[in-house]
Each structure stands twice: as C-alpha cells, then as structure tokens.
C-alpha cells in the first residue's frame, strides 16, 4: 500500500444524494475499490474522519493484542466456524 503524507489535501464536492467523490489517487494509494465499506466519524470539533474497514479492523486488532499475545483471535474464530460448519454437514 502506498503512503500519503498527513498534509495531503484534495478539493472535492458534495454531489447528488450527498455523495462525495474520493480522488483516484487517494483510492489507489489506500487500495480502495467500488463497494468497499468505509467508516465515517464526525468529531466534536466538526472534523470528519473516514476510515476503511481494513483500517478499522487493524486498529481493533491492535486494541485487543494484549488479550491473547502471540495469537490471532480472528484466525481462531475462523477455525472454530469452519469446524462447526464441518460438523453440521456430517
């Protein structure tokens, strides 16, 4: 994934039905494509923060790293779900 400097700024506009177009360079650098989910946060100061679902997951993983150090809780959950699905098919 590429890297934008913190001060990167782009002029965009509010379109029909409140849509905002993200510039192609931003989508490319962040690896975003049509249909990707984004989290929009409005801060108390009126600033808007836009995060990709991938970034939200990365931050959440970091927040809970102390719970099971050296283990991937997501991997464990996926393994459990696969085992449950296999048992249901038997």
Residues 13-59 pLDDT 10s? 999 999 999 999 989 888 899 998 888 999 999 999 888 887 777 77
| 52 backbone dihedrals φ, ψ, rounded to 5° | -75, 155
- Give the total number of structural domains in the chain: 1
Q: Are 1 and 29 in contact (CB under 8 A)?
A: yes
pTM of the model: 0.52
Task: Say how far apart CA 67 and CA 52 lie, in whole Å.
Answer: 24
Q: What is the CATH number of the domain that holds 70?
A: 2.10.260.10
pLDDT for residue 76 is more than 80: no
- Residue 2 forms part of a structural domain: no
> How far, rounded to the nearest angstrom, does the alpha carbon of residue 32 sit from its chain's CA centroid?
10
Identify the band that residue 60 occupies on the pLDDT scale cut at 50, 70 and 90.
confident
pLDDT for residue 68 is more than 60: no
- Residue 3 forms part of a structural domain: no
- Residue 6 forms part of a structural domain: no
Domain span at residue 29 reads 16-88
- Residue 76 forms part of a structural domain: yes
- Residue 1 forms part of a structural domain: no
């Amino acid at each position: 994934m590429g890297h934008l400097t913190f001060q990167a700024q782009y002029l965009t506009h509010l379109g029909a039905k409140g849509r905002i177009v993200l510039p192609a360079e931003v989508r490319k650098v962040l690896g975003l494509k049509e249909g990707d989910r984004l989290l929009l946060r409005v801060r108390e100061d009126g600033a808007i923060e836009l995060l990709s679902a991938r970034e939200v997951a990365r931050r959440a993983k970091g927040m809970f790293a102390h719970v099971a150090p050296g283990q991937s809780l997501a991997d464990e959950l996926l393994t459990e779900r696969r085992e449950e699905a296999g048992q249901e098919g038997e």
